[in-house]
Structure 1
């Protein structure tokens, strides 16, 4: 009985591995589930600072801190998911701190535009 339970657990783990293999072609890229999990954790720890720093930078321009926090988290999550599932490329994406600092300290701070006007310009430039 114990041997059957052990086989069932092994088959469950194999099915999960096969699913990941089919979607991401890990063996073809010279990787494994373990390597990808370690790489994902490393990337998360490396990028996690942005969810705390970016809202503070944006709040300095006048944006609501909580809204900037949620937008940062959602933007990073959506970017990473699109890169992983659509592009099948293991790259982490998050808001760029250099551009956000330029937005806050130059466009809003030095040039005197309101954050609404500056954000509108960012939106228009993204469309173009």
Structure 2
């Protein structure tokens, strides 16, 4: 315990092991949706769900460990929302195989890595106006919030005005609303760990009302698949524009 405090300089940052563990667990529960949403989005492009699931888990673990062990920064890293939807749209509109487009993503990642080794990436970040940075952050937050509203049934598609209120009498929708109210009340009363407590209470309500099925804590994960991509197809299909676009959006 003392070695952990010393390694992460917890006392210098005015925190404790208990606080960081609670914050980490809360962060995990808040971002765990991506373990399902990311495979659901990319499986629409033909990638097997289990394959994307394992890629999401492995990349999140590696990214978060890098932030913790090398940067000593309490930030969890996971695949970003937005680019996965762009990936799916490219596959759907061009008729290319997902392996070819994955090859484009791989080359864009290498380009971004090379940029990170130079001062150019930092110059590009400084060149982006603050208003655009705030807009991107707010837009991603609204996008994630909208996903939650849609998946819970609070809003549904409507041909007249795009979205409208869903059936608020559905059990999953009621559970979502109850969970939101519990969390907001806890936050308004400034109770430590309000988000975590709210999610835990909502999960318990869902379990006892039969909406959450528990099958155990552990199970064998799907076998990961590596390098399922077509690099020669990237150049034969002329996807250089998408490489540049993906690298620019990653910055």
Question: Do both proteins adopt the same fold according to a TM-score greater than 0.5, normalized to the shorter chain?
Answer: yes
Of 56, 62, 74, which residue of structure 2 is paired with 1:72? 56
**Alignment correspondent of 1:126:** 109
* Matching residue of 1:43: 27
For the aligned residues, what is the CA RMSD?
0.9
The match for 1:111 is: 94
Superposed CA offset, 1:50-77 (max 9, x none)? 0011111111111111111111111111
User: In the TM superposition, what is the alpha-carbon distance from 1:112 to its structure 2 partner?
Assistant: 2.3
Q: Report SS of the residue matched to 1:74.
A: helix
Distance 1:109 1:86 in 2: 39
Q: Distance in 1 between matches of 2:23 and 2:97?
A: 40
Residue 95 (1) aligns with residue 66 (2) = no
Structure with more of its chain in helix, by fraction:
1
- Matched residue SS, 2:82: helix
Q: Which protein, 1 or 2, shows the higher relative CO under an 8 Å CA cutoff with sep ≥ 6? A: 2
Number of residue pairs aligned between Structure 1 and Structure 2: 111
TM-score, scaled to structure 2: 0.43
Query: For the residues of structure 1 that align with 2:94 and 2:86, how far apart are their CA atoms?
Result: 11
